[in-house]
Amino acid sequence: MGAYSGQPGGDPHSWWEPEKVSVTEGVLRLRAQQDGDQWVTGGVSNSAVSQTYGKWMVRLRAGVSDEISYHVLLWPRDEVWPPEIDIAESVSGRRESMSSFIHWSDEGEHHFAQADTTGRFDEWHTVGVEWGPGIVRYLVDDSEWAEFESSFVPSTSMWLGIQAQAGHVTSRGSGERGIARFRGRRQSLTSISIGSASTRPISRLWQLSSLREVLISN
């Protein structure tokens, strides 16, 4: 995996630095530190290895923080956004909730669907996704908790990213469109327009298969 360097798109209060990423005894740690009105955080991706469809599982724990969010996602190899599949993310300071998203484009407009669940995500859990033609299933500890079924499910090659940020991505515009089906607890289907994110992986690499767990802390 390669560490990020640079500013996340839509998040002016964050800056990624490779020094905030470390691996010890198979545990990947993403740290965060405040620098003035900005947070310097860690993020990684396996952008060198992408695929269309499959199953991804990440065991993670996020420290309690009102300032730092975490994001586990699949990002398109061609860097053309959307689509995006968000396996797990949370802006909950006490880590008592987690959300999953799927983003797509239809006739030049950006849309997304969202599902939310609760739990103690300051403790270790395994989050994952099963992605196939026309369907995405979201998992926590090997149990499916939400499912998105639609012709808008991405079919382009994507890679895995794991990142910490300050707060959440800024959005622009709003609207609703009831196309697609997202089943899960406390679910919603929404459409908005937002900016894309840009990442700049650098040369520090780790083998994804050698990582056992991900710890996010500040």
What is the reported pLDDT for 168? 59
pLDDT digits (tens, 9 = 90+) for 61-110: 999 999 999 999 999 999 999 999 999 999 999 999 999 999 999 988 99
Beta-carbon contacts of 12 under 8 Å, excluding residues fewer than 6 positions away, are: 38, 170
- What average pLDDT is seen over the chain? 81
pLDDT digits (tens, 9 = 90+) for 106-118: 988 999 999 999 9
Distance CA 200, CA 204 (A): 12
More confident residue, 167 or 8: 8
What is the reported pLDDT for 215? 81
Beta strands 2-4 and 201-205: pairing type?
Answer: antiparallel
User: If you average pLDDT over residues 32-43, what whole number do you get?
Assistant: 93
What is the reported pLDDT for 199? 32
Q: Check pLDDT > 80 for residue 9.
A: yes
| pTM > 0.85: yes or no | no
Q: Where are the domains of the chain?
A: 2-217
What is the reported pLDDT for 103? 94
More confident residue, 218 or 153: 153
What is the reported pLDDT for 47? 92
What is the reported pLDDT for 63? 93
Choose the CATH number for 2-217 among 3.40.1790.10, 1.10.3720.10, 2.60.120.200, 2.40.50.140.
Answer: 2.60.120.200
What is the reported pLDDT for 61? 94
Place 182 in a pLDDT band, splitting at 50, 70 and 90: low
What is the reported pLDDT for 170? 45
Neighbour-count burial for 15-36, b at 16+ CB within 10 Å, e otherwise: bbbbebbebeeeebbbbbeeee
